[in-house]
Amino acid sequence: MSEVPRFDVSVILPFGDDEEFVGIAVRRTAEHLRALGLSFEILAIDEDSGDNSHAVLALLRAEVPELRVTHAPGRGRGVDAGAARAQGTLLVVSTPDVAAATLDGVGDACRRLLAGEGDAEVALNRYTVSHRIRGLAALRGARLVGAPMHRRLAKRLQVRNLSVRVTGTPGVGASGGVTAFSAVSRLRAFGRLG
Protein backbone atom coordinates (compact mmCIF):
# COMPACT_ATOMS: atom_id res chain seq x y z
CA MET A 1 0.00 0.00 0.00
CA SER A 2 1.39 3.36 -1.02
CA GLU A 3 1.56 6.23 1.48
CA VAL A 4 1.00 8.77 -1.32
CA PRO A 5 -2.71 8.72 -2.26
CA ARG A 6 -3.51 8.36 -5.94
CA PHE A 7 -7.10 9.59 -5.53
CA ASP A 8 -9.07 11.96 -3.34
CA VAL A 9 -11.64 9.25 -2.60
CA SER A 10 -11.82 5.46 -2.62
CA VAL A 11 -15.40 4.21 -2.52
CA ILE A 12 -15.80 0.76 -0.95
CA LEU A 13 -19.00 -0.89 -2.13
CA PRO A 14 -19.33 -4.44 -0.75
CA PHE A 15 -21.92 -6.49 -2.64
CA GLY A 16 -23.49 -9.91 -2.29
CA ASP A 17 -26.54 -10.73 -4.34
CA ASP A 18 -27.24 -7.13 -5.32
CA GLU A 19 -27.70 -7.26 -9.10
CA GLU A 20 -30.73 -4.96 -8.94
CA PHE A 21 -28.78 -2.20 -7.15
CA VAL A 22 -25.06 -2.55 -7.88
CA GLY A 23 -25.10 -1.08 -11.40
CA ILE A 24 -27.19 1.92 -10.42
CA ALA A 25 -25.01 2.44 -7.32
CA VAL A 26 -21.77 2.47 -9.33
CA ARG A 27 -23.17 4.77 -12.00
CA ARG A 28 -24.66 7.27 -9.49
CA THR A 29 -21.54 7.24 -7.33
CA ALA A 30 -19.32 7.99 -10.34
CA GLU A 31 -21.62 10.78 -11.55
CA HIS A 32 -21.81 12.31 -8.06
CA LEU A 33 -18.03 12.33 -7.48
CA ARG A 34 -17.29 13.62 -10.99
CA ALA A 35 -19.71 16.51 -10.43
CA LEU A 36 -17.81 17.36 -7.24
CA GLY A 37 -14.51 17.43 -9.14
CA LEU A 38 -12.94 14.73 -6.97
CA SER A 39 -10.54 12.10 -8.26
CA PHE A 40 -11.78 8.67 -7.19
CA GLU A 41 -11.85 4.93 -7.56
CA ILE A 42 -14.81 2.65 -6.91
CA LEU A 43 -13.94 -0.68 -5.34
CA ALA A 44 -16.83 -3.10 -5.80
CA ILE A 45 -16.01 -5.91 -3.38
CA ASP A 46 -17.66 -9.29 -4.03
CA GLU A 47 -18.80 -10.95 -0.82
CA ASP A 48 -19.67 -14.34 -2.38
CA SER A 49 -22.26 -13.07 -4.84
CA GLY A 50 -24.22 -15.81 -6.57
CA ASP A 51 -26.35 -13.72 -8.90
CA ASN A 52 -25.62 -11.59 -11.99
CA SER A 53 -23.89 -8.75 -10.12
CA HIS A 54 -20.58 -9.44 -11.91
CA ALA A 55 -22.25 -9.33 -15.32
CA VAL A 56 -23.85 -5.98 -14.45
CA LEU A 57 -20.49 -4.59 -13.33
CA ALA A 58 -18.75 -5.91 -16.46
CA LEU A 59 -21.21 -3.94 -18.59
CA LEU A 60 -20.28 -0.74 -16.70
CA ARG A 61 -16.51 -0.92 -17.10
CA ALA A 62 -16.39 1.15 -20.30
CA GLU A 63 -18.70 3.81 -18.81
CA VAL A 64 -16.97 3.89 -15.40
CA PRO A 65 -13.22 3.37 -15.88
CA GLU A 66 -12.70 4.15 -12.17
CA LEU A 67 -14.40 0.84 -11.29
CA ARG A 68 -12.34 -2.03 -9.89
CA VAL A 69 -13.97 -5.33 -8.93
CA THR A 70 -12.29 -7.61 -6.43
CA HIS A 71 -13.18 -10.35 -3.96
CA ALA A 72 -13.47 -10.49 -0.18
CA PRO A 73 -12.71 -13.70 1.72
CA GLY A 74 -16.40 -14.00 2.67
CA ARG A 75 -19.60 -12.26 3.72
CA GLY A 76 -19.03 -9.24 5.91
CA ARG A 77 -15.35 -8.89 4.93
CA GLY A 78 -15.79 -6.44 2.04
CA VAL A 79 -14.93 -3.29 4.00
CA ASP A 80 -11.73 -4.87 5.32
CA ALA A 81 -10.73 -6.12 1.85
CA GLY A 82 -11.58 -2.80 0.20
CA ALA A 83 -9.69 -0.72 2.74
CA ALA A 84 -6.60 -2.86 2.21
CA ARG A 85 -6.71 -2.19 -1.56
CA ALA A 86 -7.79 1.47 -1.48
CA GLN A 87 -5.50 4.19 -2.79
CA GLY A 88 -7.46 7.33 -1.90
CA THR A 89 -6.98 9.95 0.78
CA LEU A 90 -10.51 9.25 2.00
CA LEU A 91 -12.54 6.05 2.21
CA VAL A 92 -16.28 6.14 1.57
CA VAL A 93 -18.13 3.00 2.66
CA SER A 94 -21.69 2.33 1.55
CA THR A 95 -23.91 -0.48 0.29
CA PRO A 96 -25.39 -0.83 -3.21
CA ASP A 97 -28.99 -0.26 -2.10
CA VAL A 98 -28.10 2.99 -0.30
CA ALA A 99 -25.72 4.29 -2.97
CA ALA A 100 -28.33 3.56 -5.65
CA ALA A 101 -30.86 5.72 -3.79
CA THR A 102 -28.94 8.81 -2.65
CA LEU A 103 -25.48 10.08 -1.83
CA ASP A 104 -26.67 13.29 -0.18
CA GLY A 105 -24.10 14.49 2.32
CA VAL A 106 -21.14 12.48 0.98
CA GLY A 107 -19.71 15.45 -0.91
CA ASP A 108 -19.94 17.77 2.09
CA ALA A 109 -18.35 15.13 4.34
CA CYS A 110 -15.50 14.67 1.84
CA ARG A 111 -14.90 18.42 1.63
CA ARG A 112 -14.79 18.79 5.42
CA LEU A 113 -12.41 15.87 5.91
CA LEU A 114 -10.12 16.94 3.05
CA ALA A 115 -10.00 20.40 4.71
CA GLY A 116 -8.83 18.79 7.97
CA GLU A 117 -12.11 19.10 9.89
CA GLY A 118 -12.08 15.77 11.73
CA ASP A 119 -11.07 12.21 10.99
CA ALA A 120 -14.36 10.57 9.99
CA GLU A 121 -18.06 11.18 9.42
CA VAL A 122 -20.76 8.55 9.78
CA ALA A 123 -24.33 8.89 8.53
CA LEU A 124 -26.02 6.01 10.31
CA ASN A 125 -27.65 3.48 7.95
CA ARG A 126 -26.20 5.34 4.91
CA TYR A 127 -22.43 5.83 4.65
CA THR A 128 -19.13 6.27 6.45
CA VAL A 129 -16.34 8.60 5.27
CA SER A 130 -12.92 8.29 6.90
CA HIS A 131 -9.34 9.32 6.30
CA ARG A 132 -7.76 6.16 4.90
CA ILE A 133 -4.49 6.23 6.86
CA ARG A 134 -6.06 7.31 10.17
CA GLY A 135 -9.00 4.93 9.91
CA LEU A 136 -7.25 1.89 8.45
CA ALA A 137 -6.57 0.22 11.81
CA ALA A 138 -10.26 0.51 12.71
CA LEU A 139 -11.28 -1.17 9.46
CA ARG A 140 -8.80 -4.05 9.57
CA GLY A 141 -10.47 -7.30 10.47
CA ALA A 142 -13.94 -5.74 10.50
CA ARG A 143 -16.80 -8.12 9.76
CA LEU A 144 -19.65 -5.84 8.78
CA VAL A 145 -23.03 -6.83 7.37
CA GLY A 146 -26.36 -5.08 7.09
CA ALA A 147 -27.89 -2.01 8.67
CA PRO A 148 -25.70 -1.92 11.82
CA MET A 149 -22.54 -1.57 9.67
CA HIS A 150 -22.15 2.18 10.11
CA ARG A 151 -22.90 2.18 13.84
CA ARG A 152 -20.19 -0.46 14.28
CA LEU A 153 -17.79 1.52 12.10
CA ALA A 154 -18.43 4.64 14.21
CA LYS A 155 -17.60 2.73 17.38
CA ARG A 156 -14.47 1.16 15.85
CA LEU A 157 -13.24 4.60 14.72
CA GLN A 158 -13.97 6.21 18.09
CA VAL A 159 -12.10 3.49 19.97
CA ARG A 160 -9.03 4.55 17.97
CA ASN A 161 -9.37 8.06 19.46
CA LEU A 162 -10.40 9.59 16.15
CA SER A 163 -12.64 12.63 15.87
CA VAL A 164 -15.89 11.23 14.46
CA ARG A 165 -18.98 13.20 13.47
CA VAL A 166 -22.14 11.06 13.57
CA THR A 167 -25.47 12.00 11.97
CA GLY A 168 -28.80 10.21 12.09
CA THR A 169 -30.22 7.88 14.68
CA PRO A 170 -30.06 4.07 14.77
CA GLY A 171 -32.93 2.54 12.80
CA VAL A 172 -34.20 5.89 11.53
CA GLY A 173 -31.65 6.93 8.90
CA ALA A 174 -29.82 10.20 8.64
CA SER A 175 -32.84 12.45 9.17
CA GLY A 176 -32.01 12.74 12.88
CA GLY A 177 -29.75 15.25 14.54
CA VAL A 178 -26.03 15.76 14.34
CA THR A 179 -23.72 14.76 17.13
CA ALA A 180 -20.00 15.46 16.98
CA PHE A 181 -17.78 13.15 19.00
CA SER A 182 -14.13 13.56 19.73
CA ALA A 183 -11.66 11.35 21.54
CA VAL A 184 -12.68 13.06 24.79
CA SER A 185 -16.37 12.31 24.34
CA ARG A 186 -16.18 8.82 22.89
CA LEU A 187 -17.52 7.10 26.04
CA ARG A 188 -20.60 9.28 25.85
CA ALA A 189 -20.88 8.25 22.18
CA PHE A 190 -21.05 4.58 23.10
CA GLY A 191 -23.97 5.25 25.41
CA ARG A 192 -25.89 7.21 22.80
CA LEU A 193 -25.22 4.88 19.86
CA GLY A 194 -25.61 1.58 21.68
Residues in CB range of 44: below 8 A, 6 or more apart:
13, 15, 22, 26, 57, 67, 68, 69, 70
Q: Name the pLDDT band for 47 (thresholds 50, 70, 90).
A: very high
In the CATH scheme, what is the code of domain 7-193? 3.90.550.10
Q: What is the C-alpha separation between 26 and 11, in angstroms, rounded? A: 9
Report pLDDT for 144: 74
Q: Which of 18-22, 137-141, 176-180 comes out lowest in average pLDDT?
A: 176-180
Cβ–Cβ under 8 Å, residues 76 and 40: no
Q: How far is CA 48 from the centre of its chain?
A: 19
pLDDT tens for 159-189 read 999 999 999 865 444 334 444 444 333 333 3
**pTM (2 d.p.):** 0.84
Report pLDDT for 170: 55
**How high is the mean pLDDT of the chain?**
85
pLDDT tens for 52-91 read 999 999 999 999 999 999 999 888 899 999 999 999 999 9
Kindly tell me if the per-residue pLDDT of 36 is higher than 50. Answer: yes
